[in-house]
A and B are shown apart, each in its own frame.
Chain A
Amino acid sequence: MTKSYDFDVLVIGAGPGGYHAAIRAAQLGLKTACAERESVGGVCLNVGCIPTKALLHAGDIRAEARHASDFGLQLAEQRMDIAKLNGWKDGIVKKLTGGVSGLFKANKVTHLIGNASFVDDHTVQVGDKTYTAASIIIATGSEPARLPGLDVDQQGIVDSTGALVMPDPVPARMLCVGGGVIGFEFAHIYNNMGSQVKVIEFLPTIIPGADADAVKAFQKSMEKQGIKVAVQTKANRAEKKQDGIHVELENVKTGEKSVEVFDRVLVAVGRRPRTDGLNPEKAGVTVTERGFVPADSKQRTNVPHIYSIGDVASNPMLAHKAMKEGLVAAEVIAGKPAEQDAVAIPGVVYTNPELAWVGLTEQEAKDKGYEVKIGNFPFAASGRAMTLQQTDGFVKMVVEKDTDLVLGVHIVGPRASDILSEASLALEMGATATDIALTIHAHPTLGEAMLEGAESAHKQAIHIVNR
């Protein structure tokens, strides 16, 4: 007897992972539903990647406009209409979430609205109705981690969601607790909008996971723009007073304490997987102590017909990783030979300059036993970068000494995120530095720095003296 279900696939969550899974499943002829309690598009579209990048762009234009006098453009005194800024950002979000809804309709994905909760391993309650499905994909995402002593009220003390609403007036003094990607993107936004910004990081280095040389150059550039950075520092508690938020900071190395006053405090100390109300135990699905629903390379949980993708499955919590895993889960369900077998997952900090990397850092390569040679090309030697008034940073290429295989690429510089795609392809294709060096790159472009970085690994770069 073949049991019949309401759906072939039920996806829980309509974030980047969830909507990719749902659309691909539908494309492959599966009867698909996607349950979402909030707006489609998830954190990325609504309160993450997209609105942050909108604010970053606005801030960058403001900063660039200040330097336009170098080439004779005299702009009148800058005035920022904060309401208009927030409205413009919200409009982009609305357009994109509307786009996802439209794609659901076009692909005949049933959109179920409400909280989803497992009843058993084939049944999910969404709102007050229950639905059955042959396969279920968990894509419930993550939420900001909290910090004791700093109670987020989304007014003075905010998490990343609260920080997306630019206050009017812009806060004079801003503290970012957490020197990771989110902390620095908001530091950059607020700094460009006129705030005096300080970033504190508990660890000895900012942007954990990135290459040491790249981090050093990145930090130098942020500090040059006026952002203060303090590592090995934590925030113990915050108290709201008449003149601002009094935060007790502690140097974790020396134990030295001080109180500093801010008008806005961002808590960006990481994110945690979100499974509240899901009741995965009713389906027999394993959840780790830290709240992750782990999956294998085919995105299967311990229950063979239940899958887990994106932030809730594993680190790194990145939209493009979730998207890939969503496609893999849908294709595996449809019987395709899919697998999450990416050589490397790119990481980006969308400041200016951007910090972007893919593959192994120099240290990681050495730790794994690779003998490496390093290519390095500074944007100060790039004609294109000069015409953009953005010459901070470099392309650093980590290459295996004997085989010439590209192991990792680390970029600090303008549009590093876009340049990086070539590096990602190189890693996936098993390209050598020679392959990149022999590829004609358009001139003048920022992407040429990849070519010269590869040439530099062979000590044959043209626009710098090779040492």
Chain B
Amino acid sequence: GRTIVPAAPSVRRLAREMQVDIHAVHGTGIAGRISEEDVRRTAGTPSVA
């Protein structure tokens, strides 16, 4: 299946710092791109570890 996660390297690192699985983040940008804000929002959601 599709493999590319459209998130900048710095955003992917932020996700690791916040212990967020980047694959579980819903990207709200163009072409589903994941922003820093998307990661922070996901980190604040209790259902996503």
List the interface of chain A (C-beta within 8 A of B).
Answer: 337-339, 341, 343, 368-370, 400, 403-405, 407, 427-430, 432
Among A407, A429, A432, which residue has the most Cβ atoms of chain B within 10 A?
A429
Per-position binary interface string of chain B over residues 2-14, scored 1 when its CB falls under 8 Å from any chain A CB and 0 otherwise: 1111111100110
Q: A430–B16 contact, CB under 8 A? A: no
Known: A337-B16, A337-B17, A368-B2. A428 touches B31 (CB 8 A): no
Which chain A positions have C-beta within 8 A of B12?
A: 339, 341
Q: B31–A430 contact, CB under 8 A? A: yes
Q: B4–A337 contact, CB under 8 A? A: no
Q: B9–A428 contact, CB under 8 A? A: yes
Q: B2–A428 contact, CB under 8 A? A: no
Interchain pairs with CB closer than 8 A, number:
40
Instruction: Flag whether B24 is at the interface (Cβ < 8 A).
Output: no
Q: How far is the CB of A20 from chain B (nearest CB, A)?
A: 17
Contact residues on B (Cβ < 8 Å of other chain), bracket: 10 to 19
The contact sample of 30 A-B pairs, CB cut-off 8 A, is A337-B13, A338-B13, A338-B16, A339-B12, A339-B16, A343-B5, A368-B1, A368-B2, A368-B3, A369-B1, A370-B2, A400-B31, A403-B31, A403-B32, A404-B31, A405-B6, A405-B31, A407-B4, A427-B4, A428-B8, A429-B8, A429-B9, A430-B4, A430-B5, A430-B6, A430-B7, A430-B8, A430-B33, A430-B34, A432-B31
Which chain A positions have C-beta within 8 A of B3?
A: 368
Q: Tell me the complex Cα distance, A370–B31, Å.
A: 14
Q: Which residue of B1, B2, B5, B30 contacts A432 across the interface (Cβ within 8 Å)?
A: B30
Which chain B positions have C-beta within 8 A of A403?
A: 31-32
Chain A residue, CB-CB nearest to B1? A369
Which chain B positions have C-beta within 8 A of A404?
A: 31
Which chain B positions have C-beta within 8 A of A339?
A: 12, 16
Q: Tell me the complex Cα distance, A341–B7, Å.
A: 11
Which chain A positions have C-beta within 8 A of B34?
A: 430
Mark out the residues of chain B between 1 and 49 whose CB falls within 8 Å of any chain A CB in the assembled complex: 1-9, 12-13, 16-17, 30-34
Chain A residue, CB-CB nearest to B7? A430
Chain B residue, CB-CB nearest to A369? B1
Q: A430-B6, A430-B34 are in contact. List 12 more A-B contacts (CB 8 A).
A: A337-B13, A338-B16, A339-B12, A341-B9, A341-B12, A368-B3, A403-B32, A430-B5, A430-B31, A430-B33, A432-B30, A432-B31
Q: How far is the CB of B25 from chain A (nearest CB, A)?
A: 12
Q: Tell me the complex Cα distance, A429–B10, Å.
A: 9
Known: A428-B9, A430-B33, A432-B30. A343 touches B4 (CB 8 A): yes
Which chain B positions have C-beta within 8 A of A337?
A: 13, 16-17
Q: Tell me the complex Cα distance, A369–B2, Å.
A: 7
Which chain B positions have C-beta within 8 A of A341?
A: 9, 12
Q: How far is the CB of A343 from chain B (nearest CB, A)?
A: 6
Q: Tell me the complex Cα distance, A339–B33, Å.
A: 20
Q: B13–A405 contact, CB under 8 A? A: no
Which chain A positions have C-beta within 8 A of B5?
A: 343, 430
Which chain A positions have C-beta within 8 A of B6?
A: 405, 430
Chain A residue, CB-CB nearest to B17? A337
